Amino acid sequence: MNKILLLFLLLPQIALSNALPKQLAVPGGIVNIDLGSVETPAPVAFFQDKRVLIMANSHKWTAVIGIPLKTKAGKYTIRIQSGEQNSELAFDVIDKEYPAQYITIKNKRMVNPNPDDLKRISSERPTINKALNTWTEQPVDNLLFSLPVQGRLSSPFGLKRFFNKQPKNPHSGLDIAAPTGTTISAPAPGLVINTGSYY
Residue 140: the pLDDT is 60
β-pairing, 85-93 with 100-103?
unpaired
Ramachandran region, residue 81 (left: φ > 0; alpha: ψ -120 to 50; beta: rest): beta
Three-point CA angle 194, 15, 157, nearest 5°: 55
For the domain bounded by 12-93, which CATH number is listed? Answer: 2.60.40.1590
SS (H, E, C) 60-129: EEEEEEECCCCCCCEEEEEEEEECCEEEEEEEEECCCCCCEEEECCCCHHHCCCCHHHHHHHHHHHHHHH
pLDDT in tens, 10-21: 434 334 445 788
- CA gap 38, 58 in Å, rounded: 9
CB 9 within 8 A of CB 15: no
Residue 97: the pLDDT is 95
Mean pLDDT across 36-53: 93
pLDDT in tens, 62-120: 999 999 999 999 999 999 999 888 999 999 999 999 999 999 999 999 999 999 999 99
- CA gap 106, 86 in Å, rounded: 53
β-pairing, 3-9 with 191-198?
antiparallel
Report the predicted TM-score, pTM, of the whole model to 2 decimal places.
0.81
Residue 8: the pLDDT is 40
Closest CA to 137 of 9, 40, 20, 41: 9
The full set of domain ranges for the chain reads 3-8+97-198, 12-93
pLDDT in tens, 161-171: 999 999 999 99
Instruction: Fill in the amino acid letter for 38.
Output: V
Share of the chain above pLDDT 70, in %: 89
pLDDT in tens, 172-199: 999 999 999 999 999 988 888 999 999 8
